[in-house]
Amino acid sequence: WSESCSKNFQLLKDKLTSTPVLTLPEGTKGFVVYCDASRIWLGCVPYVTW
């Protein structure tokens, strides 16, 4: 794991948690939340339905 890997990993984390990615769904459209879980991980993703 190099310094370049660390910098790029931090950049990826910053991009995934910034405003353009984390937005609230519009109140006029429906959305579905897809969830998945295992013994060590839990993930949920909201999708706007068009």
Residue ranges making up the domain that contains 40: 22-50
In a domain, 17, yes or no: no
Q: Looking at the domain assignment, is residue 40 inside a domain?
A: yes
Alpha-carbon distance 34 to 26, whole Å?
Answer: 17
Alpha helices in 1-50 (DSSP H): 3-16
The Cα–Cα gap between 2 and 15 comes to 20
Tally of domains in the chain: 1
Contact assessment for residue 48 and residue 40, using Cβ atoms and an 8 Å cutoff = no
Please report whether residue 33 resides in a domain: yes
Whole-number pLDDT of residue 21: 60
pLDDT reported for residue 3? 93
Tens digit of pLDDT for each residue in 2-45? 999 999 999 988 887 876 666 676 777 778 888 988 888 888 88
Q: pTM to 2 decimals?
A: 0.41
| Residue 26 included in any domain | yes
